[in-house]
Structure 1
Amino acid sequence: MAYRVIGEGAMLLHFAFLVYVTFGGFLAWRWPRTLWLHLPIAGYALGIAAIGWVCPLTHVEDWARLNAGQQGFGDTGFIDNYLGGIVYPEGQMIVFELMVSTSVAISWIGLILIHLRRRHRPPPTPHTADDHEPRA
């Protein structure tokens, strides 16, 4: 039972990781400080996609599922196992990677534009009590 819980937990963390990589940059539009969390996570995801780094959650989930008597990943990884043929066509991992990369790029470009707009906006003028009195 414990192995199954570990496997399910690793799967949920995997999905949370993918959602945050894909959409976390958009959170920085509202909360700019979250960019500092998104940068290393997106960088690690890029390393997984471009360099072939292995996500430790993949090993944890595979190990837990095998010890729970369930089917492991075999030659596939988390994304191919759960998203292949659902989010992108079977065997077309590049489609998924391009979708995620496009989302990250749009979110970061939007964040830069928001930052520039805020920077060039004139400061608000202070209001006085006289501003709220009716004019005669």
Structure 2
Amino acid sequence: MPVFSPDNYQLMANAVLVLHAAIVIFVVGGLLATLLGGLLHWTWTRKVWFRAAHLGAIVFVVFESWLGIVCPLTTLEQWLRVRAGQVVYEGDFIAYWLTKGMFFTAPAWVFIAAYSVFGLLVVVSWIWLPPRRRAAPT
């Protein structure tokens, strides 16, 4: 059996979809965690590494939407599904349900506006609840 059989391509496509869903959860959940962390004084939500990763992720999403670029993870997943002999997003439980939860049908401007507003909220959270570096020992 070849290393890259249709089953292996399907497995890799599902892994890319799970990674994509995790990034979406990180972007959306990261803002919620930042806001809750500010109210509940959670120190981990003010860590520079967390906030920088979160800001970087939403900046990437906003710029790709402004530029009309399809997400590289979506492109990779679809490429893998074609290699697996699948019709995109059909026939697989994991792919079906994750896709239903992540992708919606709407005009492009709706997504561009939503991503931009969400990105603006992340920037506002940086101003309202700025990240903190660990204090230097005295």
Q: Does the TM-score normalized on the shorter chain lie above 0.5?
A: yes
Change in 2 beyond 3 A, CA 1:91/1:107: closer
Q: Which stretches in structure 1 are left out of the alignment for 5+ residues?
A: 74-78, 85-89, 116-136
Change in 2 beyond 3 A, CA 1:100/1:46: closer
CA distance in 1, matches of 2:68, 2:10: 27
CA distance in 1, matches of 2:29, 2:114: 11
Structure 1 residue 107 displacement after superposition: 4.0
| Contact in 2 for aligned 1:11/1:61 (Cα 8 Å) | yes
CA distance in 2, matches of 1:69, 1:28: 42
1:72 to 88, 91, 102: 88
TM-score, normalised to structure 1's length? 0.60
2:34 to 19, 28, 46: 28
Q: Which stretches in structure 2 are left out of the alignment for 5+ residues?
A: 1-6, 38-44, 90-98, 131-138
CA distance in 2, matches of 1:23, 1:58: 20
| Contact in 2 for aligned 1:63/1:72 (Cα 8 Å) | no
Higher Cα radius of gyration: 1
CA distance in 2, matches of 1:14, 1:43: 16
Q: CA RMSD in A?
A: 3.0
Change in 2 beyond 3 A, CA 1:103/1:46: closer
| Percent identical residues | 23
Structure 1 residue 65 displacement after superposition: 0.7
1:98 to 77, 98, 113: 113
| Contact in 2 for aligned 1:25/1:35 (Cα 8 Å) | no
CA offset digits 1:28-79 (Å, max 9, x no partner): 3431221111122111111210012342212221121111111138xxxxx8
CA distance in 2, matches of 1:43, 1:107: 9
